[in-house]
Chain A
Amino acid sequence: MKPLASDRPFQLLLAVVLAVAALLAVSMVTPLGISAYLANAIGQLAAFAVLALALDLIWGYLGILSLGHGLFFGIGGYIVAMHLLKHSSEVTGRVPDFMQFMGWSSYPFYWAGLGFFPYALLVAAVVTILISGVFGYVSFRSRVDGVYFAIITQALVYVAMLLMFRNDTGFGGNNGMTGFLVLFGWPIGGSGVVIAMAVVSVLLLAAVLLGCRLLLGSNFGVLMIATRDDEVRLRTLGYETLRLKLAVWCLSALIAALAGMLYVPQVGIINPRLLSPELSLEIAVWVAIGGRGHLIGAVIGAMLVNALKFWLSAAAPELWPFILSGLIVLVVLVFPNGLVDLAKLKLTRPMGIKRLASEPELR
């Protein structure tokens, strides 16, 4: 991996992200600039980009494909939603919908204290680490990997979705949670608050991006890539990869949870669909389209696919699924390393596409 100082593409991306954040921050105080609607869309895209980074870390740099990252995204989302509901009802006195139709008069015990944000943050971190840690430890210890790991994680997120659909679990069932009114004492719909959330999301995206980059540039990053490329050899050399894999897995889960915490306040709803296996698969699609094994690729992929989705779902609803499937097939067949390959295309002009297709992909 190139040293950070000479990694021009990465610098450029980081600069763009920071510029957007700055622009958003300016729009917050002046009426000019980015509208609340656009800011919200950018904020959501940033949350998706963080999610894609989480997956890229584990898939692109460690070679473990998780089709269950929606689970951690969901954990973050649910806990922040619980916080928002609790906080909103503490301020406005409105009882959440799900408690009304379940006929409950008091919160289930695990809702206690979530109105206090730092505590909610702590809970989110602890739950994420607990679940990812236990699952990761058992799986990696019994050397479940590759396709099997993908299937099992997919089943795991599916189980979580089925559980969340149940109304008696106290998480709002199929309706999930909506009606967040107050964020840190501010009314959540105000355009200032909307843009502020977008600023925070974009800034956190920049932070995660930089953090991942620094991690990958360190010795630890070298070990990760070594594990990805030949785990058996690494183990033969006497390095225990279990702890490394577990650490990266938990870190990736934490980043995904963070993305969930950014996403939910901006869309104003969470429900079990966030845990559907299709969404988790889509995360892999974003990363694959952008280019796995490249932090830039993950960000570009997530932003591009979701921006297209936002736009086309309204503008050309019939075409969107065909475009998405076409894009995936194109990437899979022609650009094995995603759209990042487009950058290489310039260097090897005449034979470009053919060369790319025959180029071995990261395993």
Chain B
Amino acid sequence: MSRFTRRSFLQTTGLAAAALTSPLGAPSIIRSAQAAGTVKLGCLFSSSGTMANIEGRLNHVVRMAADEINAKGGVNGRTIEVAVSDPASDWPLYAQIGKQMLEQDKVAALFGCWTSVSRKSVLPVVEQANGLLFYPLHFEGDENSKNVVYVNSPPASSVLPAVDYLMSEDGVSAKRFFMLGSDYVWPRTINKQLKGYWKSKGIPESAWKEEYVPLGFSNFQTLVNQIRAFADQGGGKPIVVLTVVGSSIPDFLREFANQGIKATDVPVLGLDMVEADLEGLNTEPLVGHLNCWAYLQNAKGAANAKFLKQWADYVKTKNVPFKADVAIDPMVSAYDAVHLWAMAAAKANSFDVPEVRKAFAGLSFDCPSGYKIQMTGENNYASRGVFIGSVNEKQGFDVLWQSKDAPKPVPFSPYS
């Protein structure tokens, strides 16, 4: 015990403490000094991991929108600088990086998250730091944080119109429903709301069936058999309400087509199905299946043509590893989000979050979808149009139906 005295121990402790205080400044290297002429925006989209295939492209869209604004002179005399990260589809890492961006890099706003769970993980962070998160995905609703801007639609103003259409005379007069989803909050909530909706219409419980598969599930053989059995029972036109996500979507469609089921027999309403999901597929046997979003690539209008060209040019000049001729709803939503933020910041003439938030009321922006998206002071939702798309041979969606105007968003569903 001779050398392990209290004194020597205290000495080392003191030394260590001294040594530690100096690297404390180290993170300031990370914190790139906020130059007078720039304002920072942060991106929280994974470019690796399970979400990378669809989420990764949003990083580039945010950059593209920032470039566009910068070319017009920036916001409040500052140019926008976009900080891109890679949360690697790892949910706690979204929170960690979000925290770092808000507190260390002092970003003016965050643009990020695809899955509900990643949003839920970042939510306490933005609320704590009183930051702003622009969330570009349609989701389960039932949430209204003052620190999140929900650029896409909650189900009450997107899913219900689509299901309504399918149940109507103009649609297919759907009477029976097979709900197939990935097992997590979004499909569960959507299906819960749908069931509530059908109950309110007096449809009996025997008319629907609910199945869940794990995320990333790919072997749909048995489930498609079940769907066939369900469809063949008779009792009215059956449809599949598909809420599986990610790589499960193309895997499901492939099996569905292989078992020879056509859209005219059992149409699939793929609520999370986007153009990107059809990329690797032969869509000929899938023609006629439906999806439902606030934007489709085939939307008519000059704003869309401009957006598509801008994206194609951006992909070409910046050598972006995504397809130049595929645009999906969340891309447009992220693009809208950057513009909404810039408009609000310009209107408030400030980058302070409370000021910017106040400026949201009454904003409107010409979205590539062709609708004028609007924000009111009531909540942090933007009102968007609704499209129902129909799969075509060219791995895209034709616009089958679209709403007359942008319906007012209803954050909290009356049917849950």
The answer to whether A174 touches B117, judged by C-beta atoms less than 8 angstroms apart, is yes
- Number of interface residues, chain A, beta carbon within 8 A: 53
The answer to whether B83 touches A314, judged by C-beta atoms less than 8 angstroms apart, is yes
Do A97 and B120 contact each other (CB < 8 Å), given the known contacts A269-B91, A314-B100?
yes
A5 at the interface (CB under 8 A from B): yes
The answer to whether A174 touches B215, judged by C-beta atoms less than 8 angstroms apart, is yes
Q: What's the least CB distance linking B218 to chain A, in Å? A: 14
Residues of A within 8 A of B140 (CB): 101
The answer to whether B27 touches A313, judged by C-beta atoms less than 8 angstroms apart, is no
Residues of B within 8 A of A11 (CB): 4, 8-9, 12
The answer to whether B88 touches A269, judged by C-beta atoms less than 8 angstroms apart, is no
A17 to B176, CA, bound (A): 63
A31 at the interface (CB under 8 A from B): no
Closest to A40 in B: B99
Other-chain residue from A15, A268, A314 in contact with B125 (beta carbon distance below 8 A): A268
The answer to whether A101 touches B142, judged by C-beta atoms less than 8 angstroms apart, is yes
A273 to B125, CA, bound (A): 19
Other-chain residue from B14, B15, B99, B120 in contact with A175 (beta carbon distance below 8 A): B120
A40 to B212, CA, bound (A): 37
Do A178 and B184 contact each other (CB < 8 Å), given the known contacts A11-B12, A40-B99, A313-B86?
no
A173 to B411, CA, bound (A): 23
Residues of B within 8 A of A15 (CB): 9, 12-13, 15-16
Do A267 and B9 contact each other (CB < 8 Å), given the known contacts A16-B20, A35-B103, A100-B142?
no
Contact residues, A1-40 vs B (CB, 8 A): 4-6, 11-12, 15-16, 18-20, 22-23, 34-38, 40
B189 at the interface (CB under 8 A from A): yes
Which one of A6, A19, A34, A98 has the highest number of Cβ atoms from chain B below 10 Å of its Cβ?
A19
The answer to whether A317 touches B85, judged by C-beta atoms less than 8 angstroms apart, is yes
B192 at the interface (CB under 8 A from A): yes
Residues of A within 8 A of B24 (CB): 34, 38
Could you say which of A68-76, A161-169, A225-233, A285-293 contacts chain B?
A161-169
A311 at the interface (CB under 8 A from B): yes
Do A189 and B12 contact each other (CB < 8 Å), given the known contacts A22-B17, A269-B92, A273-B92?
no
Contact residues, A76-122 vs B (CB, 8 A): 97-98, 100-103
Q: What's the least CB distance linking B398 to chain A, in Å? A: 33
Do A37 and B16 contact each other (CB < 8 Å), given the known contacts A269-B95, A318-B86?
no
A222 at the interface (CB under 8 A from B): no
A146 at the interface (CB under 8 A from B): no
The answer to whether A101 touches B188, judged by C-beta atoms less than 8 angstroms apart, is yes
The answer to whether B188 touches A167, judged by C-beta atoms less than 8 angstroms apart, is yes
Do A320 and B86 contact each other (CB < 8 Å), given the known contacts A12-B12, A314-B101, A315-B30?
yes
Q: What's the least CB distance linking A18 to chain B, in Å? A: 6
Q: What's the least CB distance linking A290 to chain B, in Å? A: 18
Q: What's the least CB distance linking A216 to chain B, in Å? A: 16
A112 to B12, CA, bound (A): 47
Q: What's the least CB distance linking A72 to chain B, in Å? A: 18
Given A19-B16, A162-B214, 19 more pairs with CB closer than 8 A: A5-B1, A18-B13, A20-B17, A20-B20, A23-B20, A35-B103, A36-B103, A40-B99, A41-B96, A101-B140, A101-B416, A167-B188, A175-B185, A268-B124, A269-B121, A269-B124, A271-B91, A314-B83, A320-B86
25 contacting pairs across A/B (C-beta < 8 A) = A6-B3, A6-B4, A11-B12, A15-B12, A19-B13, A19-B17, A34-B24, A37-B100, A40-B99, A44-B96, A165-B184, A166-B183, A174-B117, A174-B184, A174-B185, A178-B121, A269-B95, A269-B121, A269-B124, A271-B117, A273-B92, A310-B96, A311-B30, A313-B86, A313-B87
Q: Chain B interface (Cβ within 8 Å of chain A)?
A: 1-4, 8-9, 12-17, 19-21, 24, 27, 30, 47-48, 83-88, 90-93, 95-97, 99-101, 103-105, 116-117, 120-121, 123-125, 127-128, 140, 142, 182-185, 188-189, 192, 212, 214-215, 416
Q: Chain A interface (Cβ within 8 Å of chain B)?
A: 4-6, 11-12, 15-16, 18-20, 22-23, 34-38, 40-41, 44, 97-98, 100-103, 162, 165-167, 173-176, 178-180, 189, 267-269, 271, 273-274, 310-311, 313-315, 317-318, 320-321
